[in-house]
Structure 1
Amino acid sequence: MFFTLPGRIRTLAPGPLTAGGKNLSEKENVTFEKERYRIIAEHPCYSEKARHRFGRMHLAVAPKCNIQCNFCVRDFACVNENRPGVTMEVLTPVVALEKVKQALSDYPFIKVIGVAGPGDPLANEETFETLRLVREEFPNITFCMSTNGLMLSEKLPELVKLGVATLTVTINAVDPEIQGQICDHINYHGKTYKGVEGAKIQIKNQLEGIEAAAKAGLVVKVNTVFVPGINDRHMVEIAKKIRERDVYIMNIMPLIPQGAFAHIRAPTPEETQAAQDASEPYVRQMRHCRQCRADAYGYIDQDMTQMSEERRNILKIQTKEDMEKAREILEKKGKEEA
């Protein structure tokens, strides 16, 4: 069994691991907790305090998807929309690596590299090739992944080997009757399953997958799309189920009316907050989500895919000036202590 911290792989004796580091030796547990704390503290989705200090970069290398949700429309070459599934282009793994090199050089506040689409990352081999290339070049970067969870248990060993540290799984229902209304069909091992039949497979795989991921040491977030009239009274039930599986944080996201759900209204901010408040006793709530694009990079509140080149250059200059000031302060402090 593998237990992974970003940048290195360690083999441990067989036996279950948990997100809290149980069943590790005392020394290993301390190392685990320190690294876990750093990952959370530097991830803008997992820590609200991190959103203004650290950035993330999504690599749009995964166009294929193995399910079809009724609210999902995956668009390419879209500049002005800010939502999941939107990207200016689909990247090859080699091009993705070059973009990471440039971004980390220009904007060192980016601490997280993730794959979030525009399809499902686990349904695309390009995802794994991209992560391999980036890991070789940047062994200490934090890897993040978003998935619908259908193939999570099967692909988890590979994610662990690649050093994926944080994982987001979209779970919109834990009742097949409800999920069957949200997801039109799934494609699983070469066969298509529709409605409730597909929902049963997906929910089973999702819950087993997030439990296994947490035990393997990944920090797990669950995204739930709030669909009025369908799963609006189901949020607490989802929260209870994922709490049992050591999920770190839950993100209740308002529906964006489109696709087959274009006729359904978006929930009001008050309705979304009420769902978050009701779920909070069971699992920590993320309340600062911006429903990012599949190619988003920079701060959560300042997606540079939607900035002018001039604005990006200004941010680049500011970042370098900040680094120089920080370096001067550290050098001065070091001389004073000496």
Structure 2
Amino acid sequence: MKEQTYEEIIRKHPCFSKAATRWFGRVHLPVAPKCNISCHYCTRLYDCVNENRPGVTSKLMTPKEALQYVKQLVERDERIKVVGIAGPGEPLANRSTWYTLFMVHRCFPELIKCISTNGLLLAEKLPELQKAGVRAVTVTVNAVSKEVGSRIYGYVFYRGQIYTGAAGAELLWRAQYEGIRLARKLGMVVKVNSVLIPGVNDEHLEEVARAVKTAGAHVMNIIPLIPQGGFADLLPPPPERVNLMRQKLSPIIKQITHCRRCRADAVGMLV
């Protein structure tokens, strides 16, 4: 089968293109429970069917269950064009991610495969992602400064060792930069998600935008903080502040404006 072009992936992927939301749907497969970093804004301890935020799922799936689920969805809705893995943990830290992607790609090579990752393992896992048919990658980058990053991440677990504070934040950004750079070199479409955390990284996001653009990211998505976890006492940024930030950064890198902060088990159309 002919490989999808860069332009075709963007045209059909609703998370990368607002126009695509009118015609194409996606499914997130919740097969990856483990995570290798601790973010102060993250909690995956509960689920409500009316709750729409990253990291939430009503159940975990095995790779076989996920494949059967995709088969049923594709038969029922021909608009499903994208299969992604976005948690509820870190996809690249879970072997189940690879089993799922390989099986789905073997059965549905025409579907766009994508992952959402913190980027810590992205560079070293790119060969496997290529074999599994992954062509679109979203990397969450909240800081490129170790000082700012140390306020966002509790720890980074890498190759059997725990890194905290500035050391963990610096390690994470180095890995993210290299992962984005190499992914783009391989022809993948790269989106960066950045959580806007008032009083923590809001004055730093312009530096983040310039850095990820230099690394090769195609588009950036500013996500307003959902107060929870270690940041439960912070106030979420109002919509007008988020919009102003997007306007400020749009001359640097193209901005996503239609994000729905999808769950790890999201399915169907974005609109």
Work out the CA distance in 2 between the residues paired with 1:61 and 1:299: 21
Write the distance in 2 (CA, Å) between the matches of 1:82 and 1:104. Answer: 23
Partner of 2:261: 291
Cα distance in 2, alignment partners of residues 68 and 277 from structure 1: 30
Using the size of structure 1 for normalisation, the TM-score is: 0.78
Partners in 1 of 2:57 and 2:96 — Cα distance?
A: 16
Structure with more of its chain in helix, by fraction: 1
Stretches (4+) displaced over 3 A: 75-78
Q: Secondary structure at the match of 1:112?
A: strand
Contact 1:83 1:293 in 2 (8 A): yes
Q: Does 1:186 align with 2:177?
A: no
SS of residue matched to 2:60: coil
SS in 1 for 2:123: helix
Residue among 8, 12, 16 paired with 1:46: 16
3-state DSSP of counterpart to 1:63:
coil
Query: How far, CA to CA, are the matches of 1:226 and 1:104 in structure 2?
Result: 35
Give how far 1:278 is off.
1.1
How far, CA to CA, are the matches of 1:275 and 1:213 in structure 2?
26
Q: Which runs of 5+ in 2 are unaligned?
A: none
Of residues 128, 136, 141 in structure 2, which corresponds to 1:158? 128
| Residues 176-205 of structure 1: per-residue CA shift (max 9 Å, x gap) | 100110011011101111111100100100
Please give the secondary structure, in 2, of the residue aligned with 1:87: coil
In terms of mean alpha carbon deviation, does 76-85 or 61-70 score higher? 76-85
Question: Would the aligned equivalents of 1:146 and 1:167 in 2 still touch at CA under 8 Å?
Answer: yes
* Aligned counterpart, 2:138: 168
Instruction: Tell me the equivalent position of 1:256.
Output: 226
3-state SS of the aligned residue for 1:143? strand
Q: Which residue of 1 aligns with 2:172?
A: 202
Counterpart in 1 of 2:87? 117
SS at structure 2 position matched to 1:71: coil
CA shift, 1:78, in A, is: 3.3
Of residues 106, 113, 135 in structure 2, which corresponds to 1:143?
A: 113
- Check the 8 A contact 1:75/1:85 in 2, yes or no: no
Match of 2:42 in 1: 72
Q: Deviations over 1:207-241 (max 9, x none)?
A: 11100100011000000000000000111111111
Aligned partners of 2:84 and 2:96: how far apart in 1? Answer: 13
Aligned length: 271
Tell me, yes or no, if the aligned pair for 1:76 and 1:89 is still in contact at 8 Å.
no
Aligned to 2:30: 60
Kindly provide the amino acid, as one letter, of the partner of residue 246 in structure 2: Q
2 CA distance for matches of 1:209 and 1:241?
13
What secondary structure does 1:166 align onto? Answer: strand
The one-letter code matched in structure 2 to 1:192 is I
Within 5 Å, which residues of 2 pair with 1:205-220?
Answer: 205-220=175-190
Per-residue CA deviation, residues 67-99 of structure 1 (Å, 9 max, x unaligned), is 010000014553221100000101000000000
- CA contact under 8 A between 1:61 and 1:118: conserved in structure 2? yes
Larger CA Rg, structure 1 vs 2 = 1
Q: % of aligned pairs identical?
A: 49
- The answer to whether the 8 Å contact 1:77/1:89 transfers is no
Output the CA distance in 1 between the equivalents of 2:11 and 2:259.
16
Displacement of 1:36 in angstroms is 1.3
1:152 partner amino acid: L
- 2 CA distance for matches of 1:229 and 1:77? 28
Aligned 8 A contact 1:222 1:251 in 2: yes
TM-score normalised by L of structure 2: 0.98
Cα deviation, 1:255-303, whole Å, max 9, x if unaligned, reads 00001100011001111111111111111000000000000000113xx
Q: Secondary structure at the match of 1:146?
A: strand
